[in-house]
Amino acid sequence: MPRARNSNSQQRGTRAITSNITVQEEAGDRIIREVYGNLRGEWNGTIGTIFDYLSDRCIFTKSAETAKAMNEKVTNRTPGEVYSSRAEDVHEGPGWTIQEYSGVTPMPLDHAPTREINLKVGMPVLLTDHIFMKGGLVNGTRLIVTGIYDGFLKAKLTSGTFKGDEVVVHKMWWLVLPGDSNTRAYLRFQYPLIAGYAVAFNFYLNDPVKISGVFLEQRLYQEFMRSLRHIDMSQCEKMFVVSPSQSTLIVED
């Protein structure tokens, strides 16, 4: 009998976990619809309409894991050909050492660019390193990809003094530092980019700061707030949306 009770308890726990995951997925889908609308809609027609539409829209999350999951969802659902940028990793060889290559940006493995980055023309991306600070190309700058070529891409800045300017982003070398002391560092050649439909951002309600970035339109934010009664958002882990007025929606886990 005790075994039967344990089995029933495990089944209830499994159902609860499954239900929680389902609610989180529904909540995530709801946020995507409210922020970006029809992902295959008219705004996806030309670079001009894409740029105008995406420049003032972004999903802000509290965790990088949530942002990554949201970005994968939106990227998979938007139209356009996928271009996969696969990194070239170079390890130490006979007669030379990694330390000889001074000036290469060192980066812990957890923060280094991934080995494969999927890109589409028209998608927003975020820089993960400074490129040209005077030109507005700094870590965290958001851009819209306008063209993808061999070893470089073109993109437009979505905010700041140089909003609308088209720039070139090249692949660059990184010195990847594994966390394991027994594993040697190695070089990686990849874009300093991550997808930017959703962005991880640390926001403090008690001490709000002015964010120089991309925000939801006030009207869209208000509509989103009104729509919350249609779905239980309480199980959606660590998501929130920011409006130009610094109002926030915190979705607790």
Question: Which tens digit of pLDDT belongs to each residue from 191-211?
Answer: 999 999 988 765 433 333 333
Q: Among 132, 147, 146, 141, which Cα is nearest to 159's? A: 141
The reported pLDDT for the residue numbered 18 is 55
Amino acid (one-letter) located at 102:
S
Q: Is 19 a domain residue?
A: no
Q: Is 146 a domain residue?
A: yes
130 bridge partner residues: none
Residue 117 has pLDDT above 70, yes or no: yes
Residue 246 has pLDDT above 50, yes or no: no
Q: Is 99 a domain residue?
A: yes
**pLDDT by residue (tens digit) across 128-172?**
887 776 666 777 788 999 999 988 999 999 877 788 999 999 998
The reported pLDDT for the residue numbered 245 is 41
The reported pLDDT for the residue numbered 30 is 75
Which residue range forms the structural domain that includes residue 176? 26-251
Q: Among 31, 19, 23, which Cα is nearest to 228's? A: 31
Number of domains composing the chain? 1
- Highest averaged pLDDT of the listed ranges 69-73, 96-100, 200-204, 211-215: 69-73
d(CA 122, CA 125): 9
